């Protein structure tokens, strides 16, 4: 195992989720694989469509300054076009409801997930809550207000 560890309290909302808990793929994996805890044997998502997929779990993140972030699984996203619909989902530390993963089919073909398939990954990471401080000016930088593509292609 690599990296620090901490207790993550997981409430299993259905027996089916208890029998198929989140897990890591390897000892060095950063994320816990989340599984589809759907009632039907499978769910098909049409091209360009989204679906809310329950995981059957709720969590309690007890580490101050840490939140949960839901990312696409690289194989599903890159190879098949099934991604987390909003890019990255955020699980606030005070949220205690079921984790629902919204999946988006970005491919040109219908995609089917089966009950208990690994559909996304949960990564616990620190966050910084900003304190908004109004100012009249910002400090100057070499980049300034240069936006997308301002440095050209290289």
Contacts of 13 (CB under 8 A, 6+ apart): 37, 56, 57, 58, 98
Residue 90 marked in a binding site: yes
Q: What are the φ/ψ torsions at residue 24 (nearest 5 degrees)?
A: -95, 150
DSSP summary character for residue 140: -
Residue 10 marked in a binding site: no
Element (H, E) at 86: none
Residue 75 marked in a binding site: yes
Report d(CA 70, CA 121) in Å as an integer.
6
Structure tokens at 107: 């491919």
Residue 73 marked in a binding site: yes
Contact between 88 and 120 under an 8 Å Cβ cutoff? The reply is no
3-state secondary structure of 75: helix
Contact between 59 and 9 under an 8 Å Cβ cutoff? The reply is yes
Residue 86 marked in a binding site: yes
List residues forming the annotated binding site for substrate: 73-75, 86, 90-92
Annotated binding-site ranges: 73-75, 86, 90-92
């Amino acid at each position: 195992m690599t990296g620090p560890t901490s207790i993550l309290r997981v409430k299993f909302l259905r027996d089916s989720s208890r029998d198929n808990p989140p897990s890591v793929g390897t000892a060095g994996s950063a994320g816990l694989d989340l599984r589809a805890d759907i009632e039907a044997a499978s769910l098909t998502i049409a091209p360009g469509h989204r679906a809310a997929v329950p995981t059957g779990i709720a969590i309690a993140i007890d580490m101050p300054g840490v939140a949960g972030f839901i990312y696409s699984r690289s194989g599903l996203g890159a190879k098949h076009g099934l991604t987390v619909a909003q890019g990255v989902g955020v699980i606030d530390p005070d949220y205690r409801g079921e984790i629902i993963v919204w999946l988006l089919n970005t491919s040109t073909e219908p995609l089917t997930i089966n009950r208990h398939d690994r559909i996304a990954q949960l990564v616990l990471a620190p966050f910084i809550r900003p304190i908004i401080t109004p100012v009249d000016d910002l400090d100057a930088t070499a980049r300034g207000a240069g936006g997308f593509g301002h440095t050209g292609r290289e």
